Structure 1
């Protein structure tokens, strides 16, 4: 059986907004339904039954165990469209696209939506173990008096909620702390990090001015642009920011790292035949993808560097070299993580430390994140993959031909790479 070609035929997202801001009261479902309905309207999908909708959120409430299916039911799609929840940290959005793409390639479905959402303003708080046990026992008591007697054993401090910090459970460090280690280990300077961050903001501001994002974003709650983007930033302003994670000689700051963010994205995929039948454009094709994991507990500097290995395996399978692409979209969780990845790909010595036979080589920096990336747009974990796929698909469609390379790192030492072609 010859696999079917998988086409990207549509895209839509909400603006990405810093958490605890204008989207503070929006839930995962609110944001996701807005992104999906915008895609449905743009692609004339009202009342259509799609093969499947797949996606997820990295941090969900217990009531959101079927977030995607329940969100689909609140859209204008045919309710016969099934939904599937997927979670792979910051790879969630792009992994969802791989899931849908593989089903289309195998002929199991003809169309599907990959999506992701993060409502960081509404993440659940934890309770301590003692309070949890008291609440469970109180719930099992039949009488009100019995419940009150059990609850009376709780202390005031038991009711203090435990906020989400994003720590890696195996190391006890947050992602920024790991990346501070990465920067020091691989010799990534503060100056280079700030320059990369500045370039991201400048590229995104220019793209907005050119109208590149006009057809890609559905306004939500009165917001129509990504509000983390700073038109007025400068290298001087970035260089004055204090370290955020390593107080002594730290190089990561709020300016060269991504903040917690609210937002949702969606990508419409289909077979060539389905796209033609529905009068939808073939923007680009997904032709390759690779997911990798990496040891990061002993080697704490490598938490976000799994794309190093994913790229090597994917390029070998595709019989391509790293410098043979027209555009590169590398997720900017932190400027240091991007620069460390590029440095390893360029270095024979460092590449061999990762088990690569040879360095993958240099890329033309003028082709990297040319419409801005996560440092400017910000990073709602599960939604970033959809934003990046959409950006690259549009770039290739506007060019009319070519190849694009995607790299996205994720928590727990994972990462994914993908190739799009036109």
Structure 2
């Protein structure tokens, strides 16, 4: 057999709709509505009408059972060739970065020439299930053979059964919310309230400035009359933020509504391709998604590790695979689930003890230049529709690298529920 050489995976570019705080502008939109809008924006941007894409993958975290084929239905709602296949992925907050990596691997292996990765989430249209006891009774009624049996089962229904089973953002293994887990991390790593508020302010200001500079003009496309992410608060101040009450530990907490991401509705997408496919259609290549992506997980249940610390492991493994150091990057995109999470991660990489005991390294990974961190704003500023964040970051970083010029490199780090994380490396197109 002929020797096989993996192909480079080009990032043509991204497109998304504005992100909005839940129960605001998109309060009556479904995940399918939002994802379809993001795909339509991408198709319009790159003139993909009638194009048969190799494969499309996206997903949502809070998803109705009727959305079992969400991505395929969203594709069918666009002007893409209906022969375009699609599949769903759910990897919590890492969903759309995971879809990008999975599709990139297929492009690299020559299985497909083009792909669209994305994600959508809305907590405004969150699925509400019937009471669990009522559900079991109704299933028994469905299985009953006679009218008498059904009547006897229905007689078991009580007023308490009418209370719905609302979706929860708590970890099933601990019963704690992600914010409560992050409070523990902030205490362990001695992350101050002020440091968290400063990082949050920087995210808002960077995002707002990026809009002023026109950076998002061809990345964020209007939807339902909304033109910008409505979470941005660039006029805030440390004094204002300092007056907010803690959200998760009322007595001794440091995490607030300002330094934690809000529940957000939105969708994003990114177009990937082989170099040949992109060039044949006259499409730009902004950057390349390298093959060094890594995933990791921590034992936050029995091992006492911080729920959102897995990217520290994934980044360390990724650096080894790529033969790079933490300082060999021009830009860092670290998903801001909470300001404290980002600061804990940075502090862990600087800790000799942590790097020795957890990462098995003789020396710490070291510090990064924080002026290179989330330079166009991140989740604290623009919002965080769970499954949409990864594709947002890929599209944003690809454009940052393209504008920065040749021989530039960017690192992506995304933490996710369940004590998991995913990372990736992007390189500018001329590197």
Please confirm whether the aligned pair reaches a TM-score higher than 0.5, indicating the same fold: yes
Contact 2:63 2:127 (C-alpha < 8 Å) held by counterparts: yes
Mapped contact 1:181–1:300 kept (Cα < 8 A): no
Q: Is the 8 A contact 1:304 1:409 kept in 2?
A: yes
Q: Write the deviation string for residues 206-258 of structure 1: whole angstroms up to 9, x where unpaired.
A: 11111111111121111111111112211111111000001121000000001
Contact 2:13 2:398 in 1 (8 A): no
Contact 1:35 1:266 in 2 (8 A): yes
2:360 matches 1:356 = yes
What are the ranges of 5 or more consecutive residues in structure 1 without an aligned counterpart? none
Confirm or deny that 1:267 pairs with 2:267. Answer: no
Alignment-derived partner of residue 376 in structure 1: 381
Shift of the alpha carbon at 1:148? 5.3
Q: State how 1:243-262 maps to structure 2 within 5 Å.
A: 243-262=246-265
Q: Residue 18 in 1 paired to residue 21 in 2?
A: yes
Structure 2 gap ranges (5+) = none
**Greater Cα shift, 202-211 or 344-353:** 344-353
In 2, Cα distance between equivalents of 1:232 and 1:142: 65
The residue aligned with 1:178 is: 181
> What CA distance in whole angstroms lies between the structure 2 residues aligned with 1:191 and 1:373?
18
* CA distance in structure 2 between the aligned counterparts of 1:168 and 1:299, rounded to whole angstroms: 15
What is the CA–CA distance in structure 2 between the aligned matches of 1:141 and 1:216, rounded to whole Å?
A: 55
Matched residue, 2:421: 415
Deviation sequence 1:302-330 (CA, Å, 0-9, x none): 11110101011110111111111111000
Moved more, 2-11 or 157-166: 157-166
State the distance in 2 between where 1:226 and 1:4 align: 36
1:304 aligns with 2:342: no
Map of 1:255-334 to 2, 5 A cutoff?
A: 255-287=258-290, 288-334=292-338
CA distance in 1, matches of 2:165, 2:240: 34
Q: In 1, distance between residues paired with 2:187 and 2:303?
A: 13
**Kept after mapping to 2: 8 A contact 1:178/1:300:** no
Aligned residue for 1:110?
Answer: 113
CA contact (8 A) 2:10 2:285 kept: yes
Helix, strand or coil at the partner of 1:317 = helix
TM-score by length of 2: 0.96
* 1:404 equivalent in alignment to 2:410: yes
TM-score by length of 1: 0.98
Shift of 1:293: 1.0
CA drift of 1:126 comes to: 3.0
| 1:35 and 2:41 matched | no
Match in the other structure for 1:367: 372
Structure 1 residue 151: Cα displacement: 2.8
Question: Is the contact made by 1:185 and 1:301 (CA closer than 8 Å) also made in structure 2?
Answer: no
> CA separation of 1:365/1:95 partners in 2, compared to 1, >3 Å: closer, same or farther?
same
Tell me which moved more, 130-139 or 3-12.
Answer: 130-139
- Tell me the secondary structure at the aligned position of residue 213 of structure 1: helix
Mapping for residues 92-131 of structure 1, pairs under 5 Å: 92-131=95-134
SS in 1 for 2:215: coil
1:360-384: per-residue Cα shift (whole Å, max 9, x none)? Answer: 1111010000111000111100000
* Alpha-carbon distance in 2 for matches of 1:299, 1:124: 32
Is 1:62 the equivalent of 2:65?
yes
Are the aligned partners of 2:299 and 2:305 in contact in 1 as well (CA < 8 Å)?
no
Comparing 398-407 and 127-136, the one that deviates more: 127-136
Alpha-carbon offset, residue 163 of structure 1: 1.8
Q: CA deviation at 1:146?
A: 6.1
Give the RMSD, CA atoms, in angstroms.
Answer: 1.3
Instruction: Report the number of matched residues.
Output: 422
Quick one: which of 317, 330, 346 aligns to 1:342? 346
Q: 2:398 maps to what in 1?
A: 393
> Could you tell me how far apart the structure 1 residues matched to 2:270 and 2:147 are?
51
Aligned-partner SS, 1:417: strand
Shift of 1:130: 1.2
Per-residue CA deviations over 1:266-287 (Å, capped at 9, x if unaligned) read: 0000000001011110000011
Distance (whole Å) between structure 1 residues aligned to residue 313 and residue 360 of structure 2: 7
The 2-side partners of 1:60 and 1:196 are apart by 31
Cα distance in 2, alignment partners of residues 124 and 143 from structure 1: 32
Following superposition, the deviation at residue 149 of structure 1 comes to 4.9
